[in-house]
Amino acid sequence: MTHTCTDQLQTVMYRYSQLKSYPKLQKKDMKKLRELVQRGSCPGSDDFTLYLWQPEEEKKPVTRMTGHQQLINDVRFSPDTRLVASASFDKSVKLWDGKNGKFLTTFRGHVNRVYQVAWSADSRLLCSGSSDSTLKVWDIRQKKLLVDLPGHADEVYAVDWSPDGQRVASGGKDKVLKIWRK
Tell me how far apart the alpha carbons of residues 114 and 92 are, in angstroms, rounded to a whole number: 7
Tell me how far apart the alpha carbons of residues 155 and 171 are, in angstroms, rounded to a whole number: 9
Tell me how far apart the alpha carbons of residues 147 and 158 are, in angstroms, rounded to a whole number: 17
Does residue 104 belong to any structural domain of this protein? yes
Q: Which residues make Cβ contacts (< 8 Å) with residue 26, sequence separation at least 6?
A: 15
Does residue 2 belong to any structural domain of this protein? no
* Number of domains making up the chain: 1
- pLDDT in the model for residue 51: 76
Tell me how far apart the alpha carbons of residues 142 and 144 are, in angstroms, rounded to a whole number: 6
Tell me how far apart the alpha carbons of residues 2 and 180 are, in angstroms, rounded to a whole number: 31
Tell me how far apart the alpha carbons of residues 64 and 46 are, in angstroms, rounded to a whole number: 14
- Give the CATH number, domain containing residue 121: 2.130.10.10
Q: Which residues pair with 158 in a beta bridge?
A: 171
- pLDDT in the model for residue 16: 42
- pLDDT in the model for residue 50: 78
Give me the domain span that covers residue 21: 7-181
Tell me how far apart the alpha carbons of residues 28 and 146 are, in angstroms, rounded to a whole number: 42
pTM of the model: 0.74
Amino acid in position 51: Y
Does residue 1 belong to any structural domain of this protein? no
- pLDDT in the model for residue 141: 96
Contact, 17 vs 10, CB < 8 A? no
Per run of 10 residues, the mean pLDDT along the chain (length 182 residues) is: 37 40 52 50 65 78 82 91 92 91 94 94 96 95 95 92 92 91 82
- pLDDT in the model for residue 2: 36
Does residue 116 belong to any structural domain of this protein? yes
What is residue 60's DSSP assignment? S
